[in-house]
């Protein structure tokens, strides 16, 4: 499975790339804005366009970087997608355009199939698309059929919706069982027939495998290392994780205990084997 880093922090991208385990980067306007504001405390001249170019160059040619459009209509998203691709892909040839699968907002703006139309339009222009805000397997299916190279199911947000339905108190990074939960009245909770974010990704993976669909699943909204593990187990092609989750994936108390025991057992004669002297 591939690992993407979900961040717009240059420092985090540089460090993670240096470890040799990152295959791509996902960003969004909020993450970029936050990173640029922080950087302006050091460099007042920093602007979003130059910052995005730094992200692309730092990730490098072999690491796709998702950049998101801002429009809600098919025409706006198509135009913005082409603009972003033409402006930034020349930096390192690694730009992917993020398009929401459906753009209707709470005000009723946008259209049911405007996202799908934009995906089709950009695909026809040979611009790679990451279809985002996926909350059901059927959304992933139609995005893939429209030509999306990636679909991004928001696993953690499904878990949040189910917990809110049960009026549970929880922290964002709390683990949610892949097999689902019951409420206080012993009712099994679901969201559009899904029992968890892992279940969402699992069902998409089964559909894509069944019909040999050439579209990669990016498990998104990953909250903790266990969830990342479960995404790999159910067939996600990619997990995009925050820097904190990536670091947590490498750690375990047993490993700490083992390091303590190992270093405690080292003797001078063994350490002498590594001496450069004769």
Catalytic residues: 98
Beta strands in the chain (DSSP E): 2-6, 24-26, 65-68, 95-100, 129-134, 150-153, 216-219, 238-241
Q: Tokens in use for 127?
A: 């611009």
Q: State the Cα–Cα distance between residues 236 and 134, nearest whole angstrom.
A: 14
Specify whether the CB–CB gap between 147 and 119 falls below 8 A: yes
How many other CB atoms sit within 10 Å of the CB of residue 20? Answer: 6
Q: Considering only the C-alpha atoms of the chain, give the largest distance between any 2 of them, rounded to a whole number of Å.
A: 78
Q: Which of 205, 59, 191, 220 is nearest to 131 (CA)?
A: 220
Q: Is 46 exposed, middle or buried (0-12, 13-18, 19+ CB in 10 A)?
A: middle
Q: State the Cα–Cα distance between residues 30 and 54, nearest whole angstrom.
A: 17
Output the CA torsion sign for 193, 173, 157, 161: positive
8-state DSSP, 154:
B
Residue 57 half-sphere exposure toward CB, CA atoms < 13 A: 7
């Amino acid at each position: 499975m591939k690992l993407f880093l979900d961040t717009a922090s240059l420092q985090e991208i540089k460090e993670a790339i240096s470890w040799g385990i990152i295959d791509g980067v996902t960003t969004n306007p909020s993450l970029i804005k936050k990173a640029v504001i922080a950087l302006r405390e050091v460099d007042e001249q920093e602007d979003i366009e130059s910052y995005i170019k730094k992200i692309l160059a730092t990730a490098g040619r072999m690491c796709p970087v998702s950049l998101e459009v801002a429009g809600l209509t098919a025409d706006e998203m198509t135009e913005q997608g082409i603009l972003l691709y033409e402006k930034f892909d020349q930096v390192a040839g690694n730009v992917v355009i993020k398009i929401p699968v459906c753009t209707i907002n709470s005000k009723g703006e946008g259209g049911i199939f405007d996202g799908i139309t934009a995906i089709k339009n950009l695909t026809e222009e040979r611009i790679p698309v990451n279809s985002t805000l996926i909350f059901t397997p059927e959304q992933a299916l139609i995005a893939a059929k429209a030509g999306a190279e990636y679909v991004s199911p928001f696993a953690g947000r499904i878990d949040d919706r189910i917990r809110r339905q049960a009026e549970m108190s929880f922290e964002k990074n709390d683990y949610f069982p892949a097999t689902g939960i019951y409420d206080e009245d012993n009712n099994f909770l679901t969201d559009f027939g899904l029992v968890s974010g892992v279940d969402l990704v699992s069902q998409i993976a089964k559909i894509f495998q069944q019909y040999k669909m050439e579209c990669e699943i990016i498990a998104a909204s990953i909250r903790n290392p266990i969830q990342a593990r479960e995404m790999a187990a159910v067939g996600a092609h990619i997990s995009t994780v925050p820097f904190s989750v990536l670091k947590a994936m490498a750690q375990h108390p047993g490993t700490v205990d083992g390091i303590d025991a190992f270093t405690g057992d080292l003797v001078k004669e063994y350490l002498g084997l590594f001496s450069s002297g004769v």
